[in-house]
Amino acid sequence: MLTKNQNITLKIDGMTAEGNGVGHFDGVAVFVPGSALGDELEVHIVKVKKTYAFGKILNIITPSADRISSDCNVSMKCGGCAYRHISYDAELQIKKQRVFDAFTRIGHFENPPLQNVVGSENQNHYRNKAQFPVGQDKNGNLEIGFYALGSHRIIPCKNCALQPKNFEDILTIVETWIEKNNVSVYSEETKTGLLRHIYIRRGHYSKEVMLCLVINGKSIPNEEHLINELKEKTDNFKTLVLNVNTKDTNVITGQECITLFGEGYITDTLCGLTFRISPLSFYQVNPPQAERLYTLGKEYAELTKDDVLLDLYCGTGTIGLTMANDVKKLVGVEIIPEAIEDAKKNAEINGIDNAEFICGDATKAAESLKKQGLSPSVVLVDPPRKGLTPDLISTIVEMNPTRVVYISCDPATLARDAAQFQSSGYALTRATPLDMFPRTAHVETVVLMSKVHTVANDKCFK
């Protein structure tokens, strides 16, 4: 029996969805963060459950061939990067295996038509967005960084390798402003203090910069000082926004935004179109990969001018709008009102007049669109990790599209949902994973589910 504090020798023979290596000892799965497939390790057991345990690397006896030296000294602490210690090729292999395993084990697909992972040209500095929690250490010193994995302890870090390099300079400007103006920082314990998060967005192509301060209040001291410093020292600084979050909550942003400088949004381009990005709207964090994802989605959708395209979970409308010129009509659905406002503006900015955007929950909105007689030939879905509801899949099936393009950020829920589509008459015809978030454990997948034409259906068409 494995016990806590025991030291064991372990061979890593698999990887989990979270990016931990896993080995087996006396029939018990032992998860080891920071390990690599093929590692032979001396491991200290830190936690034991009935069927699994967690261990910490004490010593690498024989390193995996995939190992490289990590270039970040906080990656094991902040938990953002799961794969900084292995080669990028090995990372892409692991991600493909993860999607394959989900399709075969969860979706019970025998032979999923899975392509290789589309890798990202940039594995560092690819993100266009960061949200840094602000706090104080036990000596009252200011801390800016990231939360440690699974906790709200701040790991100080201003130069994360995934972020654009100039985010560090912006953080330094904010830090100086905090210190010079005695700005209080929020404490989760006492629920007092003003500044909670420093949230930065930067257009990948436009290079426009937005700074959003998430505060427990409605105003900040000496905003002129901050604005002047940002204008002077940050290239393409476009807007400063306050986001009001006075709640005792884990959610980073609140509902209300107050613009102190500029327009309250930045713009950037994707697939040749211009998009407006507000603090509360979802926007793809790795634009060159998002462009590849959309291009693949468009290829899978096989659009013609006769098609009606329903884009569910449309965010600011980006995917659908990049396809709007290829179809007769586009209908987008999204739950965040600000994102729908952005989507409408985005259609206008780009001169697209065959698009309609609806604010609402995808399941409910699809049901009511069906009742109104909408009959899309192509449905595109891009849900958050929890995937689609069984009711939404039923509604989509009842709308009878010939193609369903599913973009997913969670292979497990994708496989589950694809299985429901399959049992409702849609075959999984194409599937490609894409690496939107290099060095982290996340992987996106785009699939095409095509309506299976039965003999009876073919007769109907005659």
Q: Does 336 bind ligand SAH (CB under 6 A)?
A: yes
The single-letter code of the amino acid at 269 is T
The single-letter code of the amino acid at 11 is K
Scanning 112-120, 175-183, 335-343, 347-355 for contacts with ligand SAH by CB under 6 A, the matching segment is 335-343
Q: Does 339 bind ligand SAH (CB under 6 A)?
A: yes
* Cβ neighbours around 441 below 10 Å, total: 20
Scanning 21-29, 181-189, 309-317, 428-436 for contacts with ligand SAH by CB under 6 A, the matching segment is 309-317
For ligand SAH, the closer of residues 134 and 319 by Cβ is: 319
Of 157, 212, 359, 409, which is the active-site residue? 409
x/- map, 127-166, ligand SAH, by CB under 6 A: ----------------------------------------
Which residues neighbour 273 within 8 Å (Cβ) at sequence distance 6 or greater? 318, 321, 322, 346, 350
* Placement of tokens 């030291």 in the chain: 7
Q: How far is the CB of 320 from ligand SAH (least distance, A)?
A: 8
Q: Does 300 bind ligand SAH (CB under 6 A)?
A: no
Scanning 22-30, 162-170, 327-335, 366-374 for contacts with ligand SAH by CB under 6 A, the matching segment is 327-335
Cα(313)–Cα(303) distance, integer angstroms: 19
Cα(413)–Cα(247) distance, integer angstroms: 31
User: Closest by alpha carbon to 29, among 50, 59, 46, 44?
Assistant: 50
Cα(250)–Cα(52) distance, integer angstroms: 29
For ligand SAH, the closer of residues 178 and 434 by Cβ is: 434
Residue 459 parent element (H or E):
helix 455-461
Q: How far is the CB of 331 from ligand SAH (least distance, A)?
A: 13
Which residue's Cβ lies closest to ligand SAH? 315
Q: How far is the CB of 254 from ligand SAH (least distance, A)?
A: 15
134 contacts 144 by C-beta, under 8 angstroms: yes
Scanning 115-123, 152-160, 174-182, 310-318 for contacts with ligand SAH by CB under 6 A, the matching segment is 310-318
**The binder of ligand SAH chosen from 315, 387, 401, 438 (CB under 6 A):** 315
414 contacts 109 by C-beta, under 8 angstroms: no
* Placement of tokens 């998002």 in the chain: 290
202 contacts 211 by C-beta, under 8 angstroms: no
x/- map, 373-392, ligand SAH, by CB under 6 A: ---------x-x--------
Alpha-carbon distance values, 13 to 40, 84, 234, 456 (Å): 10, 19, 47, 49
For ligand SAH, the closer of residues 53 and 118 by Cβ is: 118
Residue 259's SS3 state is: strand
Q: Does 266 bind ligand SAH (CB under 6 A)?
A: no
Q: Which residues pair with 379 in a beta bridge?
A: 310, 404
Residue 406's SS3 state is: strand
409: annotated active-site residue:
yes
The single-letter code of the amino acid at 127 is R
**The binder of ligand SAH chosen from 334, 417, 435, 444 (CB under 6 A):** 334
Cα(69)–Cα(85) distance, integer angstroms: 6
Alpha helix (H) residue ranges in 148-255: 167-180, 223-233
Q: How far is the CB of 244 from ligand SAH (least distance, A)?
A: 19
321 contacts 311 by C-beta, under 8 angstroms: no
For ligand SAH, the closer of residues 171 and 323 by Cβ is: 323
> What are φ and ψ of residue 154, in 5° steps?
-85, 130
Q: Does 357 bind ligand SAH (CB under 6 A)?
A: no
Q: Does 321 bind ligand SAH (CB under 6 A)?
A: no
Residues numbered 275 to 294 that lie near ligand SAH (CB under 6 A) are: 282, 284
Q: Six-digit token pair at 14? A: 């698999």
Active site amino acids: 409
Residues in contact with ligand SAH by the rule CB under 6 A: 282, 284, 313-315, 318-319, 333-336, 339, 361-362, 382, 384
